[in-house]
Amino acid sequence: MKVYLIGAGPGDPELITVKGKRIIESSGYCIYAGSLVNKDILNYCSDSTKIYDSASMTLDEIIKVMEEAKVKDVDVARVHTGDPSIYGAIQEQMAELDKRNIDYEVVPGVSSFLAAASALKQELTLPGVSQTIIITRIEGRTPVPETEKLEALSKTKATLCIFLSVKEIKRVAGILKPAYGADCKVAIVYKASWKDEKIIISDLANVAEATIQGGINKTAMIVVGDVLSRNFEYSKLYDKHFKHSYREES
Ligand code: SAH
């Protein structure tokens, strides 16, 4: 018996890994994060799978179901949105499973910031512009350490993928403006890879208004950075004058 902490991907049920799908198909229990995981993923469950929506459950209740599965000796598919390691609250589950000697494994998933980049047809690391991606959020009920506040991060001018913050877009834009400039492009990607995906392209000066007018106040990725301007150098990787171990100069 094992608990599998599985990344469901960002929404499109085809964006789960082959491994994640196979485990869901063969698990006796499926506990999914109903607030964000696409319910179509549940079609991979067998008819006999016991299904729980963790949105209305406490950690204790979730662990109790896992203990029950251990007694019955059947696997549990614990399905998280995107990749479980990003704002997934999985460490506490694993700590509780350790205490109970319940075996577990993490199966990665496609994070929503990657689905947002795909939706935008955007490379996040453009030569001569930015070679760093910062995954972050503005503080909400969960605090953000002082050294990681948006204002501090903005000094890097790296590509920012801001989770869990679209409700605070006005505050986010205000904090970023001094370092990135009011005309720095911003993309808001609502429900990347879902059928009702929506994209707003704006700049730091206007993004708050555009987002509010677009009616977007949840399930969105904020992408900020000069990469969005696509004013970049071509990479060395495919440059015909550049030799590397896989290709001699042509
Ligand atoms: N583990 C998840 C993130 C969970 S936190 C992952 O790797 O994607 C929830 C936040 O993720 C949301 O507030 C939103 O900012 C972002 N998010 C989740 N799914 C999304 C999607 N399909 N499109 C855009 N943003 C999404």
Of 80, 163, 195, which is best to mutate to test ligand 1, by the most ligand atoms within 8 angstroms of its C-beta?
Answer: 163
pLDDT in tens, 83-95: 999 999 999 999 9
The half-sphere exposure of 93 on its side-chain side, counting CA atoms within 13 A, is 30
Task: Determine the distance separating the centroid of ligand 1 and the alpha carbon of 112, expressed in angstroms.
Answer: 5
Ligand 1 atom, smallest distance to 194 CA: 22
Q: Domain 112-229 belongs to what architecture?
A: 2-Layer Sandwich (3.30)
Fold of 3-107: Cobalt-precorrin-4 Transmethylase; domain 1 (3.40.1010)
Least confident of 7-16, 176-185, 241-250: 241-250
Confidence tier at 71 by pLDDT (50, 70, 90): very high
Output the residue whose Cα is nearest ligand 1's atom 13.
Answer: 164
Instruction: Report the C-alpha gap between 246 and 243 in whole angstroms.
Output: 8
Q: What is the mean pLDDT of residues 104-111?
A: 98
Query: Residue 237: which pLDDT band, with cuts at 50, 70 and 90?
Result: confident
pLDDT at 249: 52
pLDDT > 70: percent of the chain? 98
Q: Which of 6, 40, 81 to mutate to test the pocket of ligand 1 (most atoms within 8 A of CB)?
A: 81
Mutate to test the pocket of ligand 1, among 112, 165, 222, 224 (most ligand atoms within 8 A of CB): 112
Residue 58 pLDDT: 97
pLDDT, mean of residues 52-81: 98
What local confidence, expressed as pLDDT, does residue 147 receive?
96
Q: What is the pLDDT of residue 1?
A: 98
Residue 114: per-residue pLDDT: 98
Give the Å distance between the CA of 130 and the centre of ligand 1: 23
CA dist 130 → 82, 124, 170, 227 (Å): 24, 8, 24, 7
Pocket of ligand 1 (CB under 6 A): 10-11, 36, 80-83, 86-88, 111-112, 115-116, 163-164, 189, 191-194, 219-221
Task: Report residue 89 as tokens.
Answer: 């609250």
What residue spans define the domains of the chain? Answer: 3-107, 112-229
Strand partners, 104: 3
pLDDT band at 131 (very low <50, low <70, confident <90, very high): very high
Predicted confidence band of residue 250 (pLDDT cuts 50, 70, 90): very low
pLDDT at site 124: 98
Nearest-5° Cα angle at 179, 137 to 128: 95
